[in-house]
Structure 1
Amino acid sequence: MFRELSADVVTAAAHQMRSGRPSFQIRALRGAASDVGADESAFAHRDAQFSVVAFGSDAQRLDLMWEPRGRRSTGLYTSFEASDRPARIAEAIPPSTLARLRRITERIDPRHLFRDNFPVGPGGDE
């Protein structure tokens, strides 16, 4: 998720397209997505203007290409994330939203049956 498409994000996108692996999308956000407050749902990155999705069979190559841009992103959307690294949850869900989701999970799903695709169980066991 990006608030703006900086020159280096556009350059990385162009590089990926020229590489012969054109699995790349830029989706405009806003509209109805920005009608809901950041703290009103699990998706908190409602100030982003763009969702940038790059995919391919070489995850290490993609990580190398996109990691510098990711440091300037406003977060990520878990449905488009393939990595299962627990650290990614901090990029996907801001601390206050994660705390709220964990409280809800403890009340609604105390046995953590819904634990696939970025589980938000008790801290530390993602």
Structure 2
Amino acid sequence: MQAQLGERVTNLGKRQTDLESEMRSGFKKMETALGGLANETRNSISALSTTIAETNKPQWQALGVALTFCTLLGGLAYWPINTTTTDLKSAVLDDLRTHGFPSGNGLEAEKGAEDQARIENSINSFQADQVPR
């Protein structure tokens, strides 16, 4: 009976030792797998952040093409305005050469007379609107 009990204790001790070694090797495998997973995650996040940084950069070539296109459209829109203005200037100069230039003194005297008439009209309207005491 004592031999059986001794054998059982020995077997239980052996099983416990085997279980301990299996647990240690299992934990080592888990540690290695978890370390690999952490490294892979770091690498993936690094690659993702690099990709995001590349997509957030301004597209200078596209902006250059858009600016050139807008400049061309602006030039095409301004061209008729410029030619029309030039034509109007030449027409005014031709008209002034034909009919002569107005004198500066005549214009000032005419404007002064208009101002004087306007002032007199204002004074007359104030006097007409006054009520005696």
Judging by fraction of residues, say which structure has more helix: 2
Q: Which has the larger radius of gyration?
A: 2
Judging by fraction of residues, say which structure has more strand: 1
- TM-score in terms of structure 1 length: 0.22
Using CA pairs below 8 Å that are at least 6 residues apart, which structure has the higher relative contact order? 1
- TM-score in terms of structure 2 length: 0.21
